[in-house]
Structure 1
Amino acid sequence: MTSFRTFAAALALTVGAGLAVAAVEAPAGAAPDSVKHVQKKKANAQRVKIDLLPPISGAGKRAGSADQAKVVVTGTFRPKKAGRTVILDRKAGKKWVKAGTARQDQKGAVLFNAPYLVKGKAVTYRLRSTGSGMKTTLSKSVSTLKWTYKEKFSEEFSGSTIDPTPWSFREQDYGHAALRKCSRTDAANTSVSKGVARLMVAKDTTKNGRCSYQGKSYAWRTNAMIGTQGAFAFKYGYAAARVKLNSLRGQHFGFWLQPNSRNAEHGNAKKTGAEIDVIEWFGEGHPSGGLSSYIHYVPKPGKGVKVGSWIKQPQQYGNKWSKKYHVFSVKWTPKSYTFYIDGQVTSVINKGVSGREQFLLLSQLSSDYQLKYLKSESKLPQGSSVDWVRVWDL
């Protein structure tokens, strides 16, 4: 079942107080302008900036409710004090209880994953830094209710078929897309069961013969692609999907956005929109790690530009991509895109920033250049499982 929300609420993020103290000493009898020795006392307090991201962290083996995903609480402390203890407190009635502990890194930063809801209700958090011979630093509080108000779209695939209210099947015949001469989309390759949408690449049993590509022959393929074009689109915000990815190479999964409409076919992405590849996955054993995030736009006629990269050392953000679900998301603002895996920043791109409303796409595709990487066609079908998709306003 899909839900849409259009109301929004403002909730201020917070900065705690705490000022560094400095003193100046001068030799006895010396005039102020002849001070030779300046000594600063060590800061005995810190300032903190707290931020609360939506529930975009949710690694795990099983599918579940989107409300079970974790919000991400981050803190940035100044002056930096690597190793200093930071406690995440949760409001429980009139009291604060400890919800987690971490230490400031070399940049003075901490990150916590914390429940979005407790017993079905929003949660209030704060950060508290202690020890290291410094005064205790408290942030102001932040509430997860903010993200309940800002939620615009939620799909948890609770039925037995794809909900046609927001989703439609994207039909593409053989050769419709560049480098997909040997494959076409098929609505039958997307199914829903037990709260999960399954998107697959399979052999096309309705087409005779085989497809020839670069001197070799391959079984004809069918792909899966669904989108919200004409039903739901948004401009700026967070978009997230929780996905368990296909295991083998030879096909790729995509969670991406395309512009609902354009003011121009080329030029500034503010007018043309852009293709926003939140995540693409090319299978286990890929030499570049298999995960990527890219932006595609057309600044000049006939000249497409691609910016982004493969995600370097993806194991630092998670593992077992085909055996566990992970949340892949993007924060899209008027100035940049920030990409995340389970709430951890993987990259930031400030080029080709779309200024148009964009719709959602989920796909499992086999491009011609990938065919050779599937060692045995007996391994088909190959697919990915999507647990849920959500969108929030900024």
Structure 2
Amino acid sequence: MYRMKKAALILFLIACCINSTFGQNYELVWSDEFNADTIDTRNWNFEIGNGTGGWGNNELEYYTKRPENVCIKDSVLVITALKENYNGFGYTSARLQTRNKAFWKYGRIEMRAKLPKGRGIWPAFWLMPQYQTYGTNYWPDNGEIDIMEYVGYNPNVVYGTVHTNKNNGSNGVSSSITYYGVENNFHLFAIEWTPTDITFYVDSYKYGIYQRLDRDWQYWPFDKEFYIVLNMAVGGNWGGAEGIDDSIFPQTFQIDYIRVYQLADENISHEDPGENYYSVSPNPCSDFLKLSILNPVVQNPKVSVFNLGGVMVIPPLVCTNAVTEFDFSLMKAGIYIMHLENKAMTKNIKVIKN
């Protein structure tokens, strides 16, 4: 393209640091667990239509933001490709991205997902540059990282690719792995991106690496911020190379979560502010709890709340006011973890609901 997991997460949050199972000391800096009823537009933008030249790939779908094409169901983001006539096109699907809302330089970026199947389907999880820094063309001069691509006519083969000024389009530098079951079960698709290389994974299996090798921006534009794109194309130069089997529709691309981790020295200082920087009251609470910001260090935090089972019970909210009220009235009595995060710090607060 041009609930054990939540219990584990909450244990890491309580520890205030995610000690990596990936071999390094990574910290969670952003995630969407898709636990809300609707897609969080503070995180995601919808791309609508068929772009220019079928999004540059001669794709045949029309992207919409209708619930028929993209919705959250049972804490899973579901992108659905349909065979239907819509705005002059024969197929519909969805494409979302985080440009101007969430973008990063370096780290581990991962998606847990179950892939669609069938000839003509082309789902992807990829990164595009937040800024135009190099060359005269946004693409390919500023790069593209395809964390996961899958073409339905070649089942069980997952691809990871980078595109640069020197290697792009059908000449992108690509790796692949044959991995059975990606259409039937959820699996983890990830990269680990450092100043010197980009490594591709399915679950714990490393299957490709792209290295900088002291080359210039024409080979390595990957020292700037990139944002996430999620989509499922129909047809196109690659996805439709062997035609489209119309009998397969509808098809779903199901995303359980997306998470971004970074090393502390790549991200933020993660100062642990003392209680004089904030207050939560009353704690214990019965119905409502107020978070008060008392120091600029914790200004405008993104706040989410988890239960001890690891389930996010209040989705991420950027608190721009000095005092923000949270509704605990419908929650069961027990202990919860309120997670605060901004560019200067991260903090986990134990909250008790009576």
TM range (shorter): 0.5 to 0.7
Residues 89-140 of structure 1: CA distance to partner in whole angstroms, max 9, x if unpaired? xxxxxxxxxxxxxxxxxxxxxxxxxx6666985599xxxxxxxxxxxxxxxx
After superposition, the Cα gap between the structure-2 partners of 1:375 and 1:229, relative to the gap in structure 1 and judged at 3 Å, is closer
Structure 2: tracts of 5 or more residues without a match: 213-218, 264-354
| Structure 2 residue aligned with 1:277 | 146
Match for residue 99 of structure 2?
229
Deviation (angstroms), 1:220: 1.2
- Matched with 2:76 is 196
Native 8 Å contact 2:160 2:174 kept in 1? yes
Change (3 A) 1:181 1:379: closer
The equivalent of 1:294 in structure 2 is 161
**Alpha-carbon separation, structure 2, partners of 1:194 and 1:248:** 24
1:301-326 per-residue CA deviation (whole Å, 9 max, x = no partner) reads x9995112232xx23xxx31111100
The aligned amino acid for 1:183 is: E
2:207 aligned to 322, 338, 346, which one?
Answer: 346
Query: How does 1:159-198 map onto structure 2 within 5 Å?
Result: 159-173=36-50, 175-180=53-58, 182-188=60-66, 189-198=69-78
Letter paired with 1:241: M
Instruction: Check if 1:390 corresponds to 2:259.
Output: yes
Partner of 1:265: 135
CA distance in 1, matches of 2:36, 2:4: 14
* Counterpart contact for 2:82–2:91, Cα < 8 Å: yes
Using the alignment, how far apart are the partners of 1:281 and 1:304 within structure 2?
Answer: 15
Normalising by structure 2, report the TM-score.
0.61
Q: Note the alpha carbon deviations across 1:130-160, whole angstroms, 9 max, x for none.
A: xxxxxxxxxxxx787x999721101010112
Residue type of the alignment partner of 1:156: E
Match of 2:269 in 1: none
CA-to-partner distance for each residue in 1:280-316, whole Å, 9 max, x for gaps?
1112x617x531000011149x9995112232xx23x
Name the aligned partner's letter for residue 259 of structure 1.
P
Shift of 1:374: 6.2
* Aligned partners of 2:176 and 2:207 also within 8 Å: no
Identical columns (%):
24
The structure whose Rg is larger is 1
- 299, 320, 330: which one aligns with 2:191: 330
Flag structure 1 segments of 5+ consecutive residues without an equivalent.
Answer: 1-63, 69-114, 125-141, 209-218
CA separation in 2, counterparts of 1:345 and 1:116?
22
* Matched-pair contact (CA < 8 Å) for 1:191–1:198: yes
1:67 maps to 6
- Note the C-alpha offset of 1:179: 3.3
Cα distance change on mapping 1:143 and 1:299 into 2, 3 Å: closer
The alpha carbon displacement at 1:223 in A equals 2.4
Equivalent pairs counted in the alignment come to 249
Q: Is the 8 A contact 1:159 1:192 kept in 2?
A: yes
Q: Which residue matches 2:115?
A: 245
Q: What is the match of residue 220 of structure 1?
A: 90
Structural mapping, 1:1-394, within 5 Å: 64=3, 66-68=5-7, 122=15, 150-173=27-50, 175-180=53-58, 182-188=60-66, 189-207=69-87, 220-265=90-135, 272-283=141-152, 286=154, 289-299=156-166, 306-311=172-177, 314-315=178-179, 319-351=180-212, 352-353=219-220, 354-369=222-237, 370-371=239-240, 373=242, 376-394=245-263
Q: What is the alpha-carbon distance in structure 2 between the residues aligned to residue 119 and residue 332 of structure 1?
A: 22
The 3-state SS of whatever aligns with 1:246 is: coil
Residues 53-105 of structure 1: CA deviation (Å, up to 9, x unaligned): xxxxxxxxxxx36434xxxxxxxxxxxxxxxxxxxxxxxxxxxxxxxxxxxxx
Root-mean-square deviation (CA, aligned residues, Å) is: 3.5
Distance (whole Å) between structure 1 residues aligned to residue 30 and residue 12 of structure 2: 22
Q: Distance in 2 between matches of 1:278 and 1:366?
A: 19
